Amino acid sequence: MLLKEKKTWALPYSAVTPKADYLNRRDILKAMGMAAAAGTGLAMGFRPSGARAAGKALEYRKTGYSVDEPLTDRELATQYNNFYEFTTSKEAVVAEARDFNTSPWTVKVSGLADKTGTYDLADLIDYNALEERIYRFRCVETWSMIVPWIGVPLADVVKKLGPQPGAKYVRFQTLVDEEQMPGLNRINIPWPYQEGLRMDEAMNALPLLTVGMYGEILPNQNGAPIRLIVPWKYGFKSIKSIVGLHFTDQEPKTTWNILAPNEYGFYANVNPDVSHPRWSQSSERRLGAGLFDGREDTLFMNGYADEVVSLYDGMDLKKHY
């Protein structure tokens, strides 16, 4: 339903940004010196059953989750991505992931939950309850975009799985398929890619288990068939092509924190006052911004502080970065 109270993110739905030149962003893995790399309305359309094909429209309802900025052009948002399981090239990932088979797709639920087991995607996600949320998306590499994601609240799925009282965290895992994902054999990362959230973060209203964007099924290169979007955190927390959820009482090891713990913390909250060791996080560039448009100031918690800052009461956010 539409939110009646105007929040920092609940602003008018915006028009699409015209196509324009944009700057390539820094390749983190290269900089690290690693091998080869670091219910108001209903939109009618396709409801997945069997094969899931990018470019198919989804049924979903629009919500009041929006921002006061234009959407990033769809072509930019779907053709400039990090997905190292395929390649370190942000522009080449479309071609590398084109033949990625996402059907059938299952997600294994394990650990401290009442309803563990292996779920078909359609059993885990209620495709009758899809909603669109327009969120800011901020990469640690200091580029950003505005995207209309389609999915269901992570909290709803977590509740359905019945986490036990001892569950303090949920860990997510990406598919490992060497035949389909050439980057697995080229890039020196401890696969599988893993991410995690504290349970109160996972139960916040904002995180979205996402199956679509721009009104259509999620493209392969953007994390098909299911990815996580956590809008107040840097993009690497929004794990793609999820095949595992594990409920645990221990803070999970996460891929970038394993690779460079002094650079990438577990929390990864967007914070303009906490610089990356090799670059400032105080500003960012929107994909699609012209060469002379300058940079924008980065918002604390990516503009979602009102909704999430209480999760970190009493924490030193420079220490727990």
Mean pLDDT, consecutive 10-residue stretches, the chain (321 aa), reads 37 36 36 37 45 76 96 96 96 97 97 98 97 98 98 98 98 98 95 98 98 98 98 98 98 97 97 97 93 88 98 96 96
CA distance 214 to 58: 9
The range of the structural domain enclosing residue 66 comes to: 28-312
Q: Is 109 exposed, middle or buried (0-12, 13-18, 19+ CB in 10 A)?
A: buried
Whether 302 maps to a domain, the answer reads yes
In a domain, 155, yes or no: yes
Is 307 inside a domain boundary?
yes
Strand order in the sheet with 169-174: 117-120, 106-111, 242-248, 169-174, 194-198
Cite the annotated binding site for Mo-molybdopterin by residue number: 81, 84-85, 139, 174, 222, 227, 238-240
Residue 237 lies in a domain: yes
- Residue 54: predicted pLDDT: 61
DSSP letter for 298, please. P
Residue 53 has a pLDDT of: 61
Q: What pLDDT score does 55 carry?
A: 72
- Give dist(CA 67, CA 232) in Å, integer: 13
Tokens of residue 287, six digits:
């994909």
Q: Confirm whether 317 is domain-assigned.
A: no
For 308, phi then psi, to 5°, come to: -130, -15
- The count of domains in the chain is 1
Enumerate the known binding-site residues.
81, 84-85, 139, 174, 222, 227, 238-240
> Is 12 within the bounds of a domain?
no
Residues in contact with 316: Cβ distance below 8 Å, sequence separation at least 6, in sequence order:
none
pLDDT confidence of residue 21: 32
Task: Tell me the CATH number at 262.
Answer: 3.90.420.10
The dihedral over CA atoms of 43, 99, 246, 254, expressed in degrees to the nearest 10, equals -110
pLDDT for res 294: 82
Q: Is residue 153 part of a domain?
A: yes
Residue 209 resides in a domain: yes
- Measured from the Cβ of residue 87, the count of other Cβ atoms closer than 10 Å reads 24
